[in-house]
Each structure stands twice: as C-alpha cells, then as structure tokens.
Structure 1
C-alpha cells in the first residue's frame, strides 16, 4: 500500500505529486515521482535498501540527510506477531448484602453482628472472643447473630498438597461489628476483620495452623502464609507464583529482577535423616540471600528477601543419587504484618489463635510472637497459643458522635472499605433495621496459564490475543558511499541522496535518461523501478543542497 502524503493542498501534476516541505525556514515544493512504499526500505523487519551519499559531496547537508534517512529506516525494523505469553491486569468487582436484622436499643444494651462466607457452614455459635474479653462471646443468641456475606472469601482447602494434614480445612474471612446502646442510638464499639484457618467454623484440635505454605484469604485475595517471624513479631504472607519441583541448578524468575535458585541438594549421611538444600535468591543476577538447611514437612526451609520468598518443604536425590530436587513454593508481593501496628486508619494487626479447650475465634492483643513448642518450624504462638489467623481490629469509642448511627442511610466502614454496616430503616426511635454489605473492586495481575483467586472468583488467563512488535537489531550498516555501491551489482534497493553533482550514481541515472535532474530542479523524490541490478532506486535530490534537504525531510514524513 502506498504511503499517503499528509499534506494540505497536494495536487497531481503530470503523474507527479507536488507537496510542500519546510527547508531552512522556507516553504519548498517537493515533487514525488512514482509510488513510495514502505517495502522499498524495510521488508520482513529488516532493511531492504542501502542509503547512498556521495563520497565527495560538496555539502555536509547531504550527509546529514542520509544519516537521518538511515536512522528512520532503522526505527522501522521490527517484526509483528501474535503474543503467546504475557500477563493481564484485571479489575474484579463484586457486591452483596447480608440479611437485615432488627436491633432494639431499649431491649439490648449490646449487639454483635457477625458475617461469614456462609452462616450455615460457619455458624460461629460461640461468637467472637477478643483480647481475652468474653463479653461479646457470652451474649445470648437474641443479641448476637451470624449472617452470610457472600463476597467474603473462602478457600476450600488451605493445604491442597496435604503437606501438614489430610483434612480439607478451610480458610475463611469473618467480619463483625460490636454495637452498644448509646441513648437509643447505635454506638459502634468494635469493628473487626479476621482471616482464619478453620474446620467448618470450629477451632478444634484437628485444625490446621498457619504454617509455611498454607493458603489464607486476606481482604479478598488469596495469599500464602510464609512464616511467623518470632524475631520481629511479624506475620509474613505473599502471593504464590510457583508450586512445584526445581532441580539442582535450576532458577525461577520471580519478576522485577528477582530469581530463586536451588543451588545444591545434599543427602544426609545418616539413613532416614532429611536432606539439606542450599537455596538462593538473586537480584539482577547477583546473590542477595542464601540459606542452607534441612527441609521437610516439620522443618520447612523459608528464605525471604524484600518482596520475595522461597519455601522448601522437601529435598531429595534421584534413585541414582546423581541429581537433587526440591519441592518448593515461590512467593512474591510479600507483606510483613507487624503485630500491634496500624494496617489502615485505626485498624491494628493482631493474631488469631486456637485455644484447644474452646471452639471460639480468639483474637489476642498480645504482640509477642514466640516459636517455642510449635510442632512445625515457621509456626508461631501468641499468648501461649498457636496462631491460626490474622485479624484487623478497630477499638472505636461508641460515645463519639462520629461512631454513632441513628438515621436511615447511616453507615460505618470496615478496614479498606471491604464491607460496611448500614442502617436500612428505623422504627419508634429505638429500633433499627441494620445489615452488613459489600461493594468492592480488587486489582489482580495474572500471567498466561496462571489462576488467581480474587473475591471468591478463580480467574485463569487461558491465552492472550494480541499483536506484538519486536524490534530487530541491525547486523550491518545501511549507509554507504557512492564509491562502495554499484548500480550493476547492487543486492538491495538503493536510496540515493544528492543530485548528479553530489552523487555519482544519481549522475549515471541522469546520463542514462532515466531521470531528469539539473540545477533548476525542485526538491524531488523519484522511484525508478529495477534500475539497480533489478532492484529499485529512490532518488532524494534537488537542484541544490537546500532542495535536496527539503526532499529528505519530506521522505522522513512519508516513512
């Protein structure tokens, strides 16, 4: 297809097209003879021509023009194709309302509204235990209620590879509002969010704790628990990007210049003892973190550095003992949740623990993590109990007017606006119809073939249908002198810069009568088919150096 001249007032004259170009601040007419097409210059992503300038050109302006044209041709050297790999950034939006209930402030001084992904599967009959205060847990069922909020996330099996347990324990999100009667208005006393590993809503002795590699929902997205850091009182989570086997010497790209590598696997000298594995994290090809230790299901090796982490749950040699392998989880987008710190607004980070003698959600305000007495390396204890979840809690002041609800449409947001409590209706000045609702959007990045869990939706990017443009490196110069190229032996098209005085190849074409060009000629771009050993010639010239420059500038616009 011909390249179009985007010029106002271009007119056809005797088979030539006349356009205007600006040279040295003066408007000049440019005569275009023949059809100027891209494949004269570039074909299949590679240069299809040489740009030829006179070795004895009297004007450096010709040399500059030739250089400009060569650079432009270089910029057109790319290959188009179809994307087979890549990633997509998605926005996932959901909304839902939990059931509406009446809270009579004259009848009850306190009321707790709890939401779970399914109140039938996760009834939480014993309520919420918070900071060793059983106040909200001991309310009668008349002033404590659990309802379904379907946007809250659940993971049906937090340990799908059965590394730690064969039980299909769940990971669920829980929301709750503890309310008080404040002069017949609703005072918000406590707002909480918890992500908990649970056996159908009961915190019993069959429960799976938070151990390295266990999946956990967190504010609508699936994360992997990396470890409880007793030295820094952090709960570390991240996004799983790889789950599989790596052999000795193998690396995996974690993005942003990070890689994980299994450097070596060494079998134990004592029969029955676990193998040791040497794991490295690299940044831009340089080792930035390394750990060498045993790795099995009771002693998973965990290595973290900045935004990435590696978890090794087993290491072993092949039958011939010639090659080592490691079962690994690789994680990016690592978050360190420091107990007692504010996560957002007034919401503080706490641990959820299991008390083996109860089946209650127990959120503790103690911020000291210990690893003494845990059964799996990487687990943690707070207040003497093993951690099984993460909580974000806002201890509000129910007497503050900003924390009171009294009219239809009043609402109170939970952490990250993930859900909220709203007043739907009022009656008699002390009876309020209330409900919890959610209207939330989450961003998700997913690679081809990868599945991510966001807001209870499993999203798999099957493929990408997109066109790609890949730059092509030039392996040889495309600019030549007129002493280096011949019309008789040319193996590509030629772009001749300069008139018959400046370029001897242009002179040959003029002498052969294939082109009319003299000192009075205007700026000219002329396509002469087959004039160079069967290849086409494009002459960029004029009656003087200014006209030649004007022709070159016009060609740059056409390409």
Structure 2
C-alpha cells in the first residue's frame, strides 16, 4: 500500500519577513473564469482570505506547489515598507508509507515468509536492489519499495569537482526481523537495524561511488555538504551549503552575524606541476579568527562554519587569482563509532567489494586499509526488542518507523514517516528537505508592521469541505489527487483531465458561496506550471 507524501504544515514566518518561494521567468496558464479578480482578493485587511487545499495522496511536486503559493500569500500579509534582503524560515510536514508485507496470517495461525527476514526501503526501489546486489550477504531480502519522503539527491557534485557525471545520493533503511518460538511474535535485535545515506553512480545499478569533500549527501531528511572525514581522529564534518562558487583574490563572502570568509591571496607555484597556494581566512567583525595557507584541497572548520577550497588559479597575466570553494554553516562534527543519537552509533558506510558480512559495512576507522567511503550510516546498538506483534512499532533514529500493522488480526510490516522540518534560507538559496526542493528566489514583504499568521493556510482535502468553507479555496491538483477538485469535476464546474494544460479555473460560489480556484494540469509538471503562473499574478 504505497502512498506518496501527503501532508504540509504551516509556512512559518521569521522576524518580520516571510518566504516567497517564487520561481523566476514567465509562466503561462489557461484561465477559466475571473481568475484576476480571485487573485486580487486572496488577502483582505492584511489576512489570508483563502485556504489552500492539497490532496491527501498528492505527489511531492503538488505539495511543494501548495507551499510556494502559501509562502507567496504569506508575503502579502505584511504592510508598510519593503524588505529587500534577508532570510526566511519554511516549515514542511510530510507523511509517507512504503509497501507492506504480510508476516502473520491469523486465519492459519502461522507466520508468513522465511525468517530472519531483512526488510528494506529507500528513496527509490532501485537503491534497494543495488543494496541487495552488493557483495555482502543480506538475510532473506524483502524489498518494501520506496518511501517517498526519504531524500534523494540527483547531483552530488554540482560544480563537477570530481566528475561530470550526475551521480546520486539517497537514504535507505533496513530492519532484520526474527521469528520467535511463539507464532505471531517477532524480535528485532541489536545491530539488525540501520539507516544509511549512500552515494551511487547516476545509473544506480552501476554501483556505489566514493564520497569526497564538497559532495552533497542527505542526512536525516536534509541535504548537507561533506567537509571532511578525519582519518587521524576518526570524525566527520558536514554542514549546510551557503555558497558554492568562485571568489576572487582579496574578496570575501558575507555569511551574516559578523562572519565573512575571505580569499586573502593566491600564490602561483614555482614549478609548473605544482598547485597554487591559497590563504583563506574566516573573520568575525573584521578580525581573523581562523586562517589556513596551503595548496588545495583545503578543508577548514571554525565553530559553525566550514570551508572546502577545491582549486585555485591565476589569470593569464598573473595579476590576481581565484579560488573555487564551498562554504557551509550549521556544521555538525561527529565521532565515528560513538552514539550520534541515543542507541544509534555513527559509522562510515564502507562499500568495499570484498566485504561479505553485512556487519563490516559499518566502519569507524577512517584510515582502514581498503576502505571505500560511500556514505554515512547509523546503526542500532540498543536493547533487543523481543515479542513484537501486530500493533507494535520500532523507531529508527527518530526519523523512520518500522510498523507491525494489525490488519484484522493479521500482521503486516511496513516503513512509515511522519516528519516536520524547519529550514532557513537566504535569497537565492535552495534546500532539499523531505525529498522536496524549495528555493527562495526573492522576499517580497513589508517590514514595519507584520500581520502574524495565526493558523495554517495550507490544509489537506480530508480536512476541508466545499459545503463548510468560510472563505475562498485554492485547490492544488486535479481530480485524481484532490478530492475537492473531483467534486467540482463531477458537478461539471471544472474540466480537468490528464490531457489538460496548466490551468487556473474559477468555480464561482462553489464553496458555500465562496469562489474556488483550481490550480491544476494534466500531470504534475503542468500543475506546477499553473501554480507558478498564479504566484506571478499575486
């Protein structure tokens, strides 16, 4: 019973500003009814005059479209003055379920399947198959398909530091379940459950690749940059990207809060085969607090800030130099082989092709001979959980739940997620959170007096009703994914099918006397285009 992402929470506001996740460029949508009048009335007296409704079984793109519309409307709820720069906070809440597998039949009073069994899910079922096809042995592998809110990154090396291939990274979890002497009861033991974030070839089936500094990797629902794996003291450093690009010698990048990263100098080598030396500094209120002068690759960390300088060069006339680097904040430094969370130890994911025992994929020695670091892993090291039966569940790193579902006395197993993540973005910054990419293209807000959003303006179709509406509705998604759109279609008030272009259609008075705007198209991409066309109008 695979289900897609289906919940979105309120769009949070930070300070006197709110995000407007607004795509650039012009977007076209077919208009039906007085769309312009509806758009002009979405905010009244400084408050949202509409509810946004997204389908309970909506795809991630529809959820993001609803979030973007909500953020734009939120930005209109501020009066007097203009905010030209700054940051915003966005909160996304999502639920998902994997496929399920029956493990106990109540009618036959018998377990179903062979035990111990290892149940696997990931951001895409192809990662399950790659995991199973690796050199290490998985006991009675059972794929439970994909879990939509696990994160997948389509290009881990966007600046092509290491390769022009668009290699991937994805989250995967597994749980090995053992039967007991009592039919219908099961055990989950120490070391038999893990969360893995792995990097792979862009085709996935061609195998795991090496994780290197500057690469992007998901970790517990958010995208990070690997700063370093320290082979002397066995720890890793990751952080959230704030800048990725080239800085000219003598220039700086301002992180805010008084911190800047400066490329102080680039010195040409004496020999033609040597690398240039770069002097990079981290400054606080104009004073140097950390400095490193070396050939690339340079990795440095100070407090909450990390820098990886990958390469440097001088211009043709040797007048000045440049450095290519990535800067991160929200740095996480964690020791290998130690508890990252209670009962969950952090390891490197070792994809060495000579490994045959699955326990050996978890490595805490960063200098080990033959080690091929292909990601990060959290392994369960808590107490054995014994006698689990239908209705019980097992928490995986406070992120995913392994559920033994009671289904009319039968027992099915599946993975579930119910997560909320709050992220801060600067203008131009994008984040990948719960497998949805959100970009803050601009902040369009007034700053002298803020109108506080006291309730979510984005709700599920199961939480809204045409008959009980007390304001206008914006329905995101066509009749297949949004139950309220389906009601309008059945009543002949809108016409949306799988061939429809991006469409903005008003059903006048259809929501208890209030107007309804349907934002939809024949597929997810068309719905996204319709949403962006509406955002451009607001």
TM-score, normalised to structure 2, is 0.63
Q: Which has the higher contact order (CA 8 A, sep 6+)?
A: 2
Q: Summarize the alignment of residues 136-175 of structure 1 with structure 2, pairs less than 5 Å apart.
A: 137-141=137-141, 144-175=142-173
Residue 273 of structure 1 and its aligned partner are, at CA, apart by 2.1
The aligned counterpart of 2:266 is 265
Report the CA distance shift for 1:95/1:311 in structure 2 as closer, same or farther (over 3 A). same
Q: 2:332 aligns with which of 332, 335, 356?
A: 335
Q: In structure 2, how many angstroms separate the alpha carbons of the residues matched to 1:328 and 1:221?
A: 21
SS of aligned partner of 1:468: coil
Q: Summarize the alignment of residues 525-544 of structure 1 with structure 2, pairs less than 5 Å apart.
A: none
Report how many residues are paired. Answer: 360
Residue 215 of structure 1 and its aligned partner are, at CA, apart by 0.6
The aligned counterpart of 1:384 is 370
Q: In structure 2, how many angstroms separate the alpha carbons of the residues matched to 1:445 and 1:420?
A: 26
The aligned counterpart of 2:246 is 245
The aligned counterpart of 1:292 is 293
- Are the equivalent residues in 2 in contact too, given 1:411–1:420 (CA < 8 A)? yes
Q: In structure 1, how many angstroms separate the alpha carbons of the residues matched to 2:335 and 2:352?
A: 22
- Are the equivalent residues in 2 in contact too, given 1:353–1:361 (CA < 8 A)? no
The aligned counterpart of 1:480 is none
Matched, 1:214 2:247: no
The aligned counterpart of 1:529 is none
Q: In structure 2, how many angstroms separate the alpha carbons of the residues matched to 1:302 and 1:214?
A: 13
Deviations 1:277-307 (A, max 9, x none): 1011112322111111112xxxx11111111
Q: 1:444 aligns with which of 423, 426, 447?
A: 423
Residue 146 of structure 1 and its aligned partner are, at CA, apart by 4.2
- Are the equivalent residues in 2 in contact too, given 1:188–1:396 (CA < 8 A)? no
Deviations 1:442-484 (A, max 9, x none): 11101122111111111111222222349xxxxxxxxxxxxxx
Deviations 1:384-406 (A, max 9, x none): 312111101113444x44xx421
Q: 2:306 aligns with which of 306, 309, 323?
A: 309
Report the CA distance shift for 1:450/1:147 in structure 2 as closer, same or farther (over 3 A). same
Residue 109 of structure 1 and its aligned partner are, at CA, apart by 2.9
Deviations 1:90-135 (A, max 9, x none): 1111111111101254753301111111114542352788xxxx5x
Q: In structure 1, how many angstroms separate the alpha carbons of the residues matched to 2:362 and 2:278?
A: 37
The aligned counterpart of 2:317 is 320
The aligned counterpart of 1:186 is 186
Is 461-470 or 301-310 further displaced after alignment?
Answer: 461-470
- Are the equivalent residues in 2 in contact too, given 1:95–1:437 (CA < 8 A)? yes
The aligned counterpart of 1:415 is 397
Is 181-190 or 331-340 further displaced after alignment?
Answer: 181-190
Matched, 1:195 2:197: yes
- Are the equivalent residues in 1 in contact too, given 2:118–2:140 (CA < 8 A)? no
- Are the equivalent residues in 1 in contact too, given 2:100–2:144 (CA < 8 A)? no
Q: In structure 2, how many angstroms separate the alpha carbons of the residues matched to 1:425 and 1:233?
A: 43
- Are the equivalent residues in 2 in contact too, given 1:96–1:151 (CA < 8 A)? yes
Q: In structure 1, how many angstroms separate the alpha carbons of the residues matched to 2:83 and 2:356?
A: 52
Residue 310 of structure 1 and its aligned partner are, at CA, apart by 1.1
Matched, 1:126 2:132: yes
The aligned counterpart of 2:32 is none
Q: Summarize the alignment of residues 452-531 of structure 1 with structure 2, pairs less than 5 Å apart.
A: 452-469=431-448
Residue 178 of structure 1 and its aligned partner are, at CA, apart by 1.1
- Are the equivalent residues in 2 in contact too, given 1:203–1:361 (CA < 8 A)? no
TM-score, normalised to structure 1, is 0.60
Matched, 1:393 2:379: yes
The aligned counterpart of 1:424 is 405
Report the CA distance shift for 1:363/1:128 in structure 2 as closer, same or farther (over 3 A). farther
The aligned counterpart of 2:122 is 116
- Are the equivalent residues in 2 in contact too, given 1:202–1:359 (CA < 8 A)? no
The aligned counterpart of 1:351 is 348
The aligned counterpart of 2:277 is 276
Q: In structure 2, how many angstroms separate the alpha carbons of the residues matched to 1:219 and 1:426?
A: 29
Report the CA distance shift for 1:248/1:226 in structure 2 as closer, same or farther (over 3 A). same
Q: In structure 2, how many angstroms separate the alpha carbons of the residues matched to 1:87 and 1:196?
A: 31
- Are the equivalent residues in 2 in contact too, given 1:254–1:308 (CA < 8 A)? no
Q: In structure 2, how many angstroms separate the alpha carbons of the residues matched to 1:172 and 1:361?
A: 19
Q: In structure 2, how many angstroms separate the alpha carbons of the residues matched to 1:359 and 1:162?
A: 32
Q: Structure 1 regions of 5+ residues with no counterpart?
A: 1-78, 371-381, 471-559
Residue 432 of structure 1 and its aligned partner are, at CA, apart by 2.5
- Are the equivalent residues in 2 in contact too, given 1:352–1:362 (CA < 8 A)? no
Report the CA distance shift for 1:337/1:125 in structure 2 as closer, same or farther (over 3 A). closer
Which of structures 1 and 2 has the bigger CA Rg? 1
Report the CA distance shift for 1:321/1:453 in structure 2 as closer, same or farther (over 3 A). same
Q: Structure 2 regions of 5+ residues with no counterpart?
A: 1-78, 105-110, 450-538
Report the CA distance shift for 1:246/1:464 in structure 2 as closer, same or farther (over 3 A). same
Deviations 1:347-401 (A, max 9, x none): 111110121347997754442222xxxxxxxxxxx46312111101113444x44
Q: Summarize the alignment of residues 34-183 of structure 1 with structure 2, pairs less than 5 Å apart.
A: 81-104=81-104, 105=111, 108-120=114-126, 122-124=128-130, 126=132, 137-141=137-141, 144-183=142-181
